[in-house]
Amino acid sequence: MKENLKAEAVLGPVPTAMVSCGDKENANIITIAWTGIVNSEPPLVYVSIRPTRYSYEIIKRTGEFCINLPDEKLVWAADYCGTKSGKNVDKFKEAHLTKEECQCIGCPAIQECPISLECKVKEIKELGSHHMFIAEVVNVKANKSIVVDEKIQIGKANLVTYLGQEYFVADKKVANRGVCLQ
């Protein structure tokens, strides 16, 4: 039997995303879990960020950002970038991360992340505590080791997810799509 609880946004696990923004000289990283896919054609994603966060104004001003998906080797860096403010520290330097040039946007990607999505903001929705940046994915970068026939093999990337204040790696396959058709 289920119990009724206070209304809250409870989904999980959710992606851990290290969102880079700014430019080569003044770049920042904000780690968020409130991100996802909005549309396939054109490819649209979103990130929801509190207006009080340092990265918020950077993204609003530049109209672009890069969603970098960390693997389990980057858990410490992801947590660090989610708990420190870019107003006070250079997160690339302190987390020992490398700025990687993007093909279609001016902000850097994070070289150590196996997947990076270059994004251009299309719309900002003010929703309350967070504002949602809806953006078009204009380029995807992925480590060659996880690409087969020009497709990313997500299961090979060892990506980090976030669930209830804890980080997990979801790399255990339990079924293929269409399992109900077998």
32-60 tens-digit pLDDT: 999 999 999 999 999 999 999 999 999 99
- Classify 105 as helix, strand or coil: coil
- Rounded CA gap, 129 and 146, in Å? 36
Predicted local distance difference test score (pLDDT) of residue 178: 78
> Do the beta carbons of residue 129 and residue 140 sit within 8 Å?
no
The mean per-residue pLDDT over the stretch 59-87 comes to 96
- Rounded CA gap, 173 and 160, in Å? 15
CATH number of 14-181: 3.40.50.620, 1.10.490.10, 2.30.110.10, 3.30.70.260? 2.30.110.10
Beta strand 64-69 pairing with 99-100: unpaired
Examine the pLDDT at 171 and tell me if it is beyond 70. Answer: no
Work out the pLDDT band at 182, boundaries 50, 70, 90. Answer: low
pTM for this structure? 0.93
The mean per-residue pLDDT over the stretch 47-75 comes to 97
Phi, psi of 138 (to 5 degrees): -105, -10
Which residues, including other chains, have CB under 8 Å from residue 130's CB and lie 6 or more apart? 34, 48, 49, 50
Q: Which of 5, 8, 62, 59 is nearest to 32 (CA)?
A: 59
Phi, psi of 81 (to 5 degrees): -70, -15
Work out the pLDDT band at 180, boundaries 50, 70, 90. Answer: confident
